[in-house]
Structure 1
């Protein structure tokens, strides 16, 4: 099912009224009537005026919310950012979700100012008003750096009449999906700009210096303020929308669909749709998905003292579907943050509230961009739905006015644009991180080298506090004025925060890193775990023999529970080993067993023949346990020279396992290795396959899950290796088994042994009364892999094909011209329904490569059919009208989900990962879920679009592309099963208009079954 709840751009703005509401937080919950309202993709309520919306917010005691800006002064906000004058810059759009044509953009960037100090904006200055869905935004010097389709630009605040000093910094970026794109522009301590790359888009961008960045879907990257030196910082995540640094220099991000909160590790790889763990695995999450909707946007880290202590150093994240702001506290496990969800920080009775960005201001307030709208879903609701609001946008300001916060009444300077160097350096003592970062930018960007002497004097005086030291060091680094002796002194400072940032600076020094090997070595043994982690990063960045040796020695000291430090260290070791000279030395040296275990884990991330040679050598010695072997085997095969393959296979076959189950795991690992090589493993594995399959058929009796899994494996082996000697056992098992998965595997293998001989038998299952309907449907996917005359003729001879299977039969036959003729004749005679011919996915496949005569006959047969959309609308309305949820139906619905949906979709930890995870899907409500079940092709995510794939051998598949895997491509079929095709064997790969999800549940589910399934899904929150 293709619900892709990702986050949707925007921000909020407004300008009038100052009222304040200090409302009680209800503990984060909403009553049942509210839940129904918030579950609608298209909100059923009407918009309310801003001051009325203000009354509906709920906050903890002592917190107040004010309207900072709204329509008509601003439009639909996207992202927000502050400048050194304390002004708020807002990117906003009226075009979303449709990009404007070239030169026709009308979206804006506006500066908002509160000049009279009454808490609301009263001056609005448009900096640019010809933009195209601008999102990420960052004030810089006398202008702003911002994304607008398709580039990241620099726009000056004031432009001389008749000139345009706009400059393209980075581009071009993909924008086929407009609800993520380039967002969250955030300046780091190091002066680089960090940004998120949104869902589904493919980009090949270049910087001003010619540096190039190729990105696919969710990623993060960084670049210099002049648009140079593009660098990818992480890969993966689905649709990251928002970034925030903490005082230690860690970078955090919010994401949709994977996990709500991440502390990003530079170079780390994170989950994404269709992606399998590679190398050293996925980087750790910080907070698993729980009760949040999969539509999170904007993140603020509160680093100030104007909130009560319990609310400081917390993360505040917007949920645009549930219309609320979450609060996460952090527990530390070594250097690893563990997010702890507290009571919801901000809730409302108004379901139009859409918090798309959250920022901590230099004044200590939280600012919330509200994309106020009836509709927020990008894929869940048609993009051209008339209910999408394009006028209203609001920005809210949240402050604390209650007791217990001593800092609340102190003077707060937010305009640093006229401050002297001395005043700015004094300002670096402020507790507000946003303020300190703005001051840091002011000193480095405006004063530059003029500030060096004053910073040096401050650091030398011994009177600087930790914040002044940290920011002073970074400013000197940005300006290229940080002396070696200053670094060495800072690395020995008594304050761990200063030592930590010193290690981070050393990491950024490039060729100068080698001068600080001793400082890194000491840092790796620091009493503070954060310093140790930063030292490990610096060590990896430096590289070389010494870095390798120190990391190898350091890793055993890391506690298992410190997941982020473990990953950082192994990633560093992996990167160090990418030096070929070092890799060659490591591959030929002798190592202890504990050292080998560390090295094998790192080697799987090194794409080089020597890494495979090393892994093979570790396999030969027999020092790895079963799980370690299974993990390294695919990579060992990937690059191993061909003459060594037989030796490795023989060694693994001789491996003494704990039983046939481990043999099965080992076989699949070896097969995966051959797939990654882009070669067939059959010549090497056939004898072992014969041995394994024979043993299983002789010793295993169907019944238990373990035995059934092994018999499925044996059936697979017989077909893959054409084990004719086991044909009788396979045939007997096919006729005997009642288990769906096993029946399908045995049927497929029979066809692989002899398609002409077994086609009638296997095809007959789709009309057999004893075979469940779902098994018949899945068998159609098996038959689709054999689009040749035997299957075609067997299908043509069938009588009384159930209506719900006719679509699949026609799709198979339509793969050939002869099959198309059979279909047309059957429909002309009235044996099959013409409506099936016009169904989603069938029409497209049928008309592809049809003759003129076939197209004419097709048009005659479908000419008088009612449009599918009208028929679907009526079906959805009828099913919903008869929908009656009941707690008694939940277990039945759960069983139906397992039967029809779990092959592709996961709820909690159960189910497949072919399609989106559905944990919390009940928040979308009955109407939206019914539409997805009964009309899955209405709104399709590009990430789940199917392809027509034809091999050079003539086999045709309709499948979902999952990922590249070495020299092969991995696809998934309608049964939720992955399969691989060598890239060299693909003749055609064309996108389809349809999703992989079967469009058959209108007939496959009775009203009672529909009610049960929908009840189960609606209650999954």
Structure 2
């Protein structure tokens, strides 16, 4: 009885049960001077107050909390961060023994956890994520200790603690969702955090199983039915949902993004390559500027300062307590900058757009450099609880200066931790809280109407646990009364979880005035029908269409409802569903997600989609239409049906002489990209899969014959690109076109577009034979674009003869032409050595090699090239002490920003942007450095391998056919990864073509930059970086 009594007393904490308002209650609570100062250091939005809920010694190192149905509060403590794996993690229970609405005791509910990352109430206990396991913990005898400990899932990577499985949430659709991303490849702490995980599985079940570490994507599961799925997105630490179940994610500098297309839709068409299944939401961009107020901030060497860099704990506030103007608000914790950032969310087509809630200030910020918000919780009282890890250093030593990684400061604050409660000013007390487990079904169903997500979610979960059929009519009544959209969707999904599927109820929901209700009703129809089909039940498509009333829904005013209808109808490929698909494509053609949804269901009908697009979408060009033509053609090209590919080429080239050929060019480019993935050229330049001259022979002749009559250069280039992949027809067919190309090349009056196509054709024929004619075009009198095209043509020649020409004429080339010439040198191993020899002999100055090309040379996969490149380009590479000594006094005076811009454009812009501008988006945005100390910025630039920025590891992909592709992994989906190379070009690689994936242990930016930039120039560069604003 003592346990139940203290639990009930603690319920008063949750309900703020007092005749006084909150601020009066807090004022009477004695706090230590340290804690009083912590509260005084906050600046919070003017409509709100903040109070201390719990602090040390009750808790320490808190990273997550949960309140169960009986009001018991659990707090997860991660003491081991950043390096300790000996099992110091705990789950504590907080108790209020004196009824003052604040906990005054804590007890250890569970210990010996490694690096626990999240908690969720479930059944009579809690689910805790502690990689590699997902645990179920329960106190079965009332002593506040977990005596039941069961592994629900296992196999997740125990990687760097910032990148592990975390934050389980019970979703609206009755699945348990867990945030998760790829394990990282540590450079420094390989032994501690080099684990890459295994297959994911239920320990007591052989099936189902997910791939190793779930391919680094979010995971959802149902413990009772042993359902287990990967999702299409990934999230670093934290995840959230809006009231209608849209999944919102976060990751470091990318503080808000939405998983738009679900993995179950992508899986039904394995040939569809979607580079990224998520949509970035902020209108103020990723790595956006933020406004800390910290005094004496603790920023480490490799920390981005002044912009979002450590976003975590994303929470869509659904507590029902905040004023109306704060509806649809999300919060992210930014521990590095000691603040909480807020955004207001609005619908934007199939996704959302996020805008700053406050201009040039934050929702909550502290002057205290040790304030480390990492997570949030919306409790039964509707307040927002802010979980403060409270550490001196929150960065991981993997990305810190070496001395800090070994510093005693690393664990300063591990005996501390706070949880704050944020609520509107003048908040009065709320009704008395009752343990939900004591409520009957009627009262639980009534709680689905609550404005607070805690009550709705908990009541739904309890109703599913009970499985009482008596609740069914009550749930139906909720739907029919339609007092709020939130209550209706929870009632619908509770019925789904109880396996109640009634046509009448769904028809009510499908006609609801709220788009979120209609969208969820469509999902439930999809779920239920898939269940029936799996069970072998006979379900006619006519029944589905009648139930969905697709003639009405296809004209729904909400883009999200139309999109969900399109996704769901993709499981029924018949004439009626295809007709609706086509209508929705036309209606929402500018939305790429609509393309993906339609094409995910198009397997076997791609030609029909193309025909429809030609008939209905070619009259006026648009970006969305061109993208659709490219996507459909690419999808056909990835298939195994060569007859369909031939058919597509013929359809594209039916009328090449028309002015309105934009869609033909887009189609050929899309086809070229996917055929290039499938058919790589061999070392002798011949296409290995088209060595049989009969393959596409008619199409080759058709393409070549149309090259001379096209009216647009874009279409001509697209024809040449495709011919380069599939090969040329026989010599007799080609000869007349060669003669014509040579004539155009010698015609001074020929327009630039015709000359470009002529050069391109000669390069495809026998570039060695026509080398002298092509070389003659590379002169100052020729337009720069023609010179560049000619240089690209020369790269297709064999041997090193062309290299001699380049060295001889080097001084006569303009900078842009020199850049193309370097590409000619780097075409193969033999030419690369020719370049390095020319650099060594000073026939070409090392300053002519752009920095990203120096990266390519000094990190080359060929050991002999890499060794020679480092010898030539960084022969006098300095050590860290020498670099520090050389530059430490460079920043005594303000630098010249004008000269700094010139240096930036020369050395940095090839790989970096600054605040999203001025350069290529390959490496980290240098705008994130602007608030660091000048020497810190310089050392980051000069010692890049001191630590490799998270997300910018340089990867090598070995394909099944032996080809190797290099770059940064920019996105991952269920079916593919996307590599971005050092020129910014992205390559989508199907997962089933990957034989090996490995990361380099050195930065893509090599050392030795100190040989190219003196201290004064470095001061100018740093001054420019710190001063630049958009």
Q: What TM-score, normalized by structure 2, do the two folds share?
A: 0.74
Residue 1002 of structure 2, aligned match among 986, 991, 994: 994
The 10-residue stretch of structure 1 (781-790 or 367-376) with the greater mean CA deviation from structure 2: 781-790
User: How far did residue 172 of structure 1 move?
Assistant: 0.7
Report the alpha carbon displacement of residue 295 of structure 1 after superposing the two structures with TM: 1.6
Give per-residue Cα distances to partners, 1:125-156, cap 9 Å, x unaligned: 43321111111321111111221121222222
Instruction: Name which of 48, 51, 59 aligns with 2:36.
Output: 51
1:332 partner SS = strand
Partner in structure 1 of residue 674 of structure 2: 635
The Cα shift of 1:764 comes to 3.2
Cα distance in 2 between the residues matched to 1:443 and 1:545: 41
Alignment of 1:973-1012 (within 5 A): 992-1012=1000-1020
Deviation at 1:997, TM superposition (A): 1.4
8 Å contact from structure 1 (residues 490, 498) kept in 2: yes
Gaps of at least 5 residues in structure 1 are 1-12, 23-46, 271-276, 561-565, 675-681, 796-804, 812-831, 840-870
5 Å matches for 1:273-292?
278-279=273-274, 283-287=278-282, 288-289=285-286, 290-291=288-289, 292=307
Specify the SS of the correspondent of 1:97: coil
1:720 aligns with 2:796: yes
The Cα offsets for residues 263-282 of structure 1, whole Å up to 9 and x where unpaired, read as 32133799xxxxxx954876
Using the alignment, how far apart are the partners of 1:922 and 1:1006 within structure 2? 20
Change (3 A) 1:703 1:508: farther
1:66 alignment counterpart: 51
Which residue, out of 401, 416, 429, partners 1:392?
416
**Does the C-alpha gap of structure 1 residues 227 and 935 become closer, same or farther in structure 2, counting only changes over 3 Å?**
farther
Match of 1:229 in 2: 227
Indicate conservation of the 8 Å contact 2:384/2:421, yes or no: yes
Match of 1:616 in 2: 649
- Pick the aligned partner of 1:892 from 873, 892, 899: 899
1:480 is paired with a residue whose SS is coil
Give the whole-Å Cα distance in 2 for the aligned partners of 1:789 and 1:307: 61
Give 1:883's aligned residue. Answer: 891
Q: d(CA) in 2 for partners of 1:789 and 1:326?
A: 47
The correspondence for 1:501, drawn from 498, 505, 520, is 520
Match of 2:239 in 1: 243
CA contact (8 A) 1:200 1:943 kept: no
Counterpart-to-counterpart distance in 1, 2:317 and 2:336: 23
Listed as ranges, the matches of 1:4-83 within 5 Å are 49-83=34-68
Any idea what the Cα deviations from partners look like across 1:532-582, whole Å, max 9, x if unmatched? Answer: 33323322355555433311121211273xxxxx3442222122123x4x5
2:810–2:818 Cα contact (<8 Å) kept: yes
The residue correspondences of 1:851-890 to structure 2 (distance < 5 A) are: 871-873=879-881, 875-876=883-884, 879-884=887-892, 886=894, 889-890=896-897
Distance 1:240 1:736, change over 3 A: same
2:936 maps to 1:918: no
Query: Structure 1 72/340 Cα, relative in aligned 2: closer, same or farther at 3 Å?
Result: same
Cα distance in 2 for partners of 1:470, 1:792 equals 60
Report if the CA contact (8 A) 2:883-2:1010 is conserved.
yes
Partner of 1:355: 373
Tell me how far apart the structure 2 counterparts of residues 504 and 982 of structure 1 sit (CA, whole Å). Answer: 28
| Preserved CA contact (<8 Å) 2:613 2:629 | no
Q: Separation in 1 of the partners of 2:182 and 2:980?
A: 20
Per the normalisation by structure 1, the TM-score is 0.75
In structure 1, what is the Cα distance between the partners aligned to 2:418 and 2:78?
A: 13
CA drift at 1:906? 2.4
Q: Are 1:171 and 2:154 matched, yes or no?
A: yes
Give 1:196 deviation, angstroms: 1.8
Q: Which residue of 1 aligns with 2:169?
A: 186
More displaced stretch, 108-117 vs 51-60: 108-117
Alignment of 1:477-556 (within 5 A): 477-494=496-513, 496-509=515-528, 510-512=530-532, 514=541, 515-520=543-548, 521=550, 522-556=552-586
1:26-74 Cα offsets, whole Å, 9 max, x none, are: xxxxxxxxxxxxxxxxxxxxx9933311111011223111111222322
Whole-angstrom CA distance in 1 between matches of 2:497 and 2:959: 54
Quote the residue 1:743 is aligned against.
818
State the alpha-carbon separation in 2 of the partners of residues 969 and 460 from structure 1: 43
| Greater Cα shift, 1006-1015 or 534-543 | 534-543
Of residues 525-534 and 337-346 in structure 1, the stretch that sits farther from structure 2 once superposed is 525-534
Q: 1:1010 to 1:230 in 2, by over 3 A?
A: same
- Indicate the residue corresponding to 2:88 in structure 1: 106
Change (3 A) 1:505 1:665: same
Conserved in 2, the CA contact under 8 Å of 1:448 and 1:479?
yes
**Equivalent residue of 1:321, what SS?**
helix
SS of structure 1 residue aligned to 2:161: coil
Q: What displacement does 1:1016 show? A: 2.7
Matched, 1:905 2:912: yes
Q: Which moved more, 1:966-975 or 1:278-287?
A: 966-975
Alpha-carbon offset, residue 781 of structure 1: 6.5
Deviation of the 1:898 alpha carbon = 2.4
Q: Residues 652 and 380 (structure 1 numbering): CA distance in 2 closer, same or farther, change over 3 Å?
A: farther
- In structure 2, the residue matched to 1:380 is 399
| Partner Cα separation in structure 1 for residue 431 and residue 649 of structure 2 | 67
CA distance in 1, matches of 2:326, 2:46: 12
Q: 1:55 to 1:72 in 2, by over 3 A?
A: same
- Alpha-carbon separation, structure 2, partners of 1:65 and 1:335: 36
- Say which SS state the counterpart of residue 439 (structure 1) adopts: helix
Q: Residue 570 of structure 1: which of 589, 595, 615 is its match?
A: 595
1:594 maps to what in 2? 617
Deviates most, 120-129 or 338-347:
120-129
Tell me the secondary structure at the aligned position of residue 604 of structure 1. helix
Select between 942-951 and 627-636 the one with higher mean Cα deviation. 942-951
Q: 1:477 to 1:388 in 2, by over 3 A?
A: same
Superimposed CA distance per residue, residues 954-974 of structure 1 (whole angstroms, 9 cap, x where no aligned partner): 999998788999999998888
Q: 1:347 to 1:1011 in 2, by over 3 A?
A: same
Give the equivalent residue in structure 2 for 1:768. 842
CA RMSD of aligned residues (A): 4.9
How far off its partner does 1:397 sit? 0.8
Q: How does 1:420-431 map to 2 (within 5 A)?
A: 420-431=440-451
**Residues 1:482 and 1:95: Cα distance change in structure 2 (over 3 Å):** same
CA distance in 1, matches of 2:952, 2:891: 28
Partner residue of 1:321 out of 323, 329, 336: 336
Contact 2:945–2:1006 (CA under 8 A) maintained in structure 1: no
- Relative to 1, partners in 2 of residues 1:135 and 1:985: Cα closer, same or farther, differing over 3 Å? closer
Matched, 1:940 2:962: no
Change in Cα spacing, 1:540 to 1:166, as seen in structure 2 (3 Å) is farther
Deviation, 1:340, is: 0.9
Tell me the distance in 2 between the aligned counterparts of 1:982 and 1:189.
32
1:92 corresponds to 2:101: no
Cα deviation digits, residues 407-434 of structure 1 (max 9, x gap): x555264742322211111222211123
Say if 1:491 and 1:519, in contact at 8 Å, map to a contact too: no
| Distance in 2 separating the partners of 1:543 and 1:952 | 33
Is the alpha carbon distance of 1:348 and 1:982 closer, same or farther for their aligned partners in structure 2, counting shifts above 3 Å? Answer: closer
CA 484–472 in structure 1, closer or farther in 2 if over 3 Å, else same = same
In structure 2, how many angstroms separate the alpha carbons of the residues matched to 1:264 and 1:788? 39
* Contiguous gaps of at least 5 residues in structure 2: 1-12, 15-19, 25-31, 185-195, 266-271, 290-306, 533-538, 619-624, 680-688, 728-759
